[in-house]
Amino acid sequence: MKIKYLLLLLIIQSSFIFSQEINSDLENKATVYFTRASSLGALINFTYFDGEKPIGRFNGPKYLKYVCEPGKHLFWARSENRSYIEANLEAGKIYLIDVIPQMGAIKAGVKLIPVDKSIYKLKRIQKLVTKKDPVKFNENELQKLKDEMGDVISRGIKKYEEIKDKNQKIKKLTKNLTILDQDLIFIKKKKK
């Protein structure tokens, strides 16, 4: 009987240790949400990248929660166009990029916006994140995406370098544009 209790105690303690390792690992990483709250162009896929690394592809109102190393990143999305954001991220911090579909007469586009929560309206994003789980991609899916998007990636990076060479403005996601988990929760206001 004592052995069963000891075994149970050991299992419980090891689960606490494991969960602490996961949390401490997240403290050493940065988290970036890519939210597509608009249903405009819902059938059009956007592909998301961190430099030359694909991190996901989805259509419609969904979002991606991307955990990465702190430091400098080039985030970009591709549809019929490309949109770029240069980021400098801190460990343990959360950032938000809003993904805006752009519908034109001939083609559909994408626009990435680094969110400053002090001036950005978050209601649609909060509703999305509160109602749905993030889309997830396993390593095999991301590798397949990388294999099929090889030319797209090299052209996307080349286009970014051309923009930089021409000194054109590229949006920035700076260390101070952080959010808290509770900023993403939608709370319905009570009617008076």
Residue pair 75/32 in contact (Cβ under 8 Å)? The answer is yes
Tokens describing residue 31? 């988290």
- Main-chain dihedrals φ then ψ at residue 68, nearest 5 degrees: -145, 175
List, in order, residues 6 or more apart from 53 with CB less than 8 Å away: 142, 146
List, in order, residues 6 or more apart from 17 with CB less than 8 Å away: none
DSSP state of 155: H
Q: What percent of the chain has pLDDT over 90?
A: 73
pLDDT score for 42 = 79
pLDDT in tens, 158-177: 999 999 999 999 999 999 99
- Which amino acid is located at 25 in the chain? D
Question: Which residues of the chain fall short of a pLDDT of 50?
Answer: 2-24
Report the topology of domain 30-184. Substrate Binding Domain Of DNAk; Chain A, domain 1 (2.60.34)
pLDDT score for 25 = 65
C-alpha span between 140 and 147 (Å, rounded): 10
Domain boundary assignment for the chain: 30-184
Q: What angle do CA 144, 145, 149 make, to 5 degrees?
A: 120
